[in-house]
């Protein structure tokens, strides 16, 4: 039986688009209070207005770059008192840069991926989870990738960061053993969001080619699974999920229809 999360407070990083925005919409629809964090102010405000209008949701927006350690600490510490008890954390902020060979890749691309996907996730987790332990309740969802399980050419550093997310999820669950706080790692396959657009530096044609001839997952598909996980009874922990489009069997095997 699903557990109600009405009036629970959910913090979502990378909330301005893609999986993060889809999670915001799904959680708003079932009565959660939302802290939406992202680097871009305007999309956050647009999303917040939508959720308030459609669901009468309580929404707090926070402009935040998870790569900035002190900014993360200050943002969590300075939340209004009514928003400090975070029940669910969705570590969704993440990105990929380029498909260069490891020995040829721009170092700035490495920095962006490592700082966001690993260090940013850790900064937010470190700021939020102690409060969950102290309150005796909480749920952490880390959004990884199939790339954390299978390495592909040109993606070794990105894949390494997502392998780290999986290890960090497992390690956090071990560290939380004996507390009621639960942890889920979710590794989607191909999801059509702004991910490829960011990877290819705004090259829309190249980004769309990633999904050509097949039906990828959507942000809503991933959000549905996340909502399922966090609404299980308190004694159930959905620890690890790999979520794939039907047309994809691995990072190397995707069935595409001729167009």
**CB–CB of 149/164 below 8 Å?**
no
Catalytic residue, candidates 103, 123, 139, 158: 158
* Cα torsion through 116, 119, 122, 127, rounded to 10: -90
Tell me if residue 123 is catalytic: no
SS3 assignment, position 16: coil
Return the CA Rg of the chain: 18
The number of residues in the chain equals: 259
- Rounded to 5 degrees, φ, ψ at 30 are -110, 20
Residues in a beta bridge with 36: 12, 61
**CB–CB of 123/73 below 8 Å?**
yes
Considering only CA atoms, which of 172, 146, 141 is closest in space to residue 12?
Answer: 141
Give the full edge-to-edge strand order of the sheet including 59-63: 59-63, 33-38, 9-13, 88-91, 139-143, 182-188, 240-243
How many other C-beta atoms can be found within 10 angstroms of the C-beta atom of residue 144? 27
**CB–CB of 173/240 below 8 Å?**
no
Residues marked as catalytic: 158
């Amino acid at each position: 039986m699903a557990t109600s999360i009405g009036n629970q407070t959910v913090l979502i990083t990378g909330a301005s688009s893609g999986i993060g925005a889809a999670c915001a919409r799904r959680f708003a629809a079932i009565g959660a209070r939302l802290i939406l964090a992202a680097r871009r102010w305007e999309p956050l405000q647009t999303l917040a207005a939508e959720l308030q209008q459609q669901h009468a949701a309580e929404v707090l927006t926070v402009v935040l770059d998870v790569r900035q350690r002190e900014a993360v600490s200050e943002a969590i510490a300075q939340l209004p008192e009514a928003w400090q008890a975070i029940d669910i954390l969705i570590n969704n902020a993440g990105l990929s840069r380029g498909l260069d060979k490891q020995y040829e890749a721009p170092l700035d691309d490495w920095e962006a991926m490592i700082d966001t996907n690993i260090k940013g996730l850790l900064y937010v987790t470190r700021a939020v989870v102690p409060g969950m332990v102290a309150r005796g309740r909480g749920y952490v969802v880390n959004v990884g990738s199939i790339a954390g399980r299978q390495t592909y050419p040109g993606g070794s550093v990105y894949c390494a960061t997502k392998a780290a997310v999986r290890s960090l999820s497992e390690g956090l669950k071990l560290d939380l053993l004996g507390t009621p706080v639960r942890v889920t790692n979710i590794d989607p396959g191909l999801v059509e969001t702004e991910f490829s657009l960011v990877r290819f530096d705004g090259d829309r044609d190249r980004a769309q080619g990633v999904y050509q001839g097949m039906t990828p997952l959507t942000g809503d598909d991933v959000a549905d699974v996340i909502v399922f996980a966090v609404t299980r009874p308190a004694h159930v922990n959905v620890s690890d999920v790999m979520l794939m489009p039907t047309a994809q069997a691995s990072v190397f095997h995707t069935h595409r229809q001729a167009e």
